[in-house]
């Protein structure tokens, strides 16, 4: 997933398995802030992000928004076997997704054991991420939550891509971490002042001290 440090190997393997369904794949263009689907809509397949970014969210009864995940290029998004979507998916920026029809997914699940195992691996990976997220929201301070968020994104960096791109606005990060946007902005500024990160622009983060960021995320600094 986009910033949560999900297992990229699992994602790549599952996408490779979906190659057998490419002939039935339909590319969809979704404008910024447009919904790909809404909570309660019928599940008609699954999606892979080709370009752009998507947030998975739902509205609470009191009107507050909770974001449960972010997805970026290459991510296989939301494997649901229920009849209706439990969340709403919205494009953070102009986005292109590949849609695999439900009938194709169901056929592959029944006929291709490797495909079924790869989807099981994704489900297990998502379960581990959900448990990790519960710990972040339930026990960590605001500073530790944001450090965990940034440390997860930093783990996806490579020598060829040393700078973290965060396409989502800070209000999205706040809704993902259960914080206010003012708190997110204040802590980011503190991390920059302390030499932990640099902020070349509002959507870019350069990690300067990954070890300290990891210690902050674990409450050890």
pLDDT in tens, 66-97: 999 999 998 888 667 788 998 999 999 999 99
Instruction: Write down which residue in 116, 134, 152 finishes a domain.
Output: 134
In a domain, 44, yes or no: yes
In a domain, 209, yes or no: yes
The answer, yes or no, to whether residue 19 has pLDDT greater than 80, is no
Average pLDDT score over residue span 136-147: 88
Question: Which of 53-57, 59-63, 117-121 has the lowest average pLDDT?
Answer: 117-121
The answer, yes or no, to whether residue 6 has pLDDT greater than 70, is no
220 or 152, greater pLDDT: 152
Instruction: Write down which residue in 134, 158, 189 finishes a domain.
Output: 134
What pLDDT shows up at residue 92? Answer: 97
User: Among candidates 49, 162, 40, which has minimal Cα distance to 98?
Assistant: 49
In a domain, 3, yes or no: no
How many structural domains does the chain have? 2
**Domain identity same for 178 and 114:** no
Model-level pTM?
Answer: 0.84
What pLDDT shows up at residue 71? Answer: 92
- 3-state DSSP percent of the chain in helix, strand and coil, to 5: 45, 25, 30
**How far is the C-alpha of 215 from the C-alpha of 113, rounded, in Å?**
41
**Domain identity same for 32 and 130:** yes
pLDDT tier, 5 (very low <50, low <70, confident <90, very high otherwise): very low
pLDDT digits (tens, 9 = 90+) for 106-116: 888 888 888 88
Residue 154, domain CATH: 1.10.10.10
**Domain identity same for 129 and 169:** no
In a domain, 129, yes or no: yes
**Domain identity same for 95 and 52:** yes
Cβ–Cβ under 8 Å, residues 1 and 129: yes
Residue 108, domain CATH: 2.60.120.10
**Domain identity same for 15 and 108:** yes
**Domain identity same for 83 and 173:** no
Instruction: Write down which residue in 110, 134, 158 finishes a domain.
Output: 134
> Which residue segment(s) compose the domain that 31 sits in?
8-134
């Amino acid at each position: 997933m986009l910033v949560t440090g999900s297992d990229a190997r699992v994602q790549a393997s599952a996408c490779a398995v979906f190659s057998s369904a490419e002939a039935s794949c339909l590319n969809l263009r979704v404008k910024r802030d447009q919904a790909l689907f809404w909570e309660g809509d019928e599940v008609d397949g699954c999606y892979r992000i080709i370009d752009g970014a998507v947030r998975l969210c739902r509205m609470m009864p009191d009107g507050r928004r909770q974001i449960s995940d972010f997805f970026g290029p290459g991510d296989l998004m939301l494997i649901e076997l229920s009849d209706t979507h439990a969340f709403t998916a919205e494009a953070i920026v102009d986005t292109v997704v590949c849609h695999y029809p439900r009938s194709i997914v169901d056929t592959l699940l029944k006929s291709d054991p490797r495909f079924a195992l790869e989807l099981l691996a994704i489900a297990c990976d998502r379960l581990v991420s959900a448990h990790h997220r519960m710990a972040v929201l339930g026990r960590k301070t605001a500073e530790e939550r944001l450090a965990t968020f940034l440390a997860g994104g930093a783990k996806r960096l490579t020598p060829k891509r040393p700078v973290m791109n965060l396409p989502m606005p800070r209000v999205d990060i706040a809704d993902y971490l259960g914080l206010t946007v003012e708190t997110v902005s204040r802590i980011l500024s503190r991390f920059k002042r302390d030499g932990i990160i640099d902020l070349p622009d509002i959507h870019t983060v350069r990690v300067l001290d990954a070890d300290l960021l990891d210690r902050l995320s674990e409450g050890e600094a």
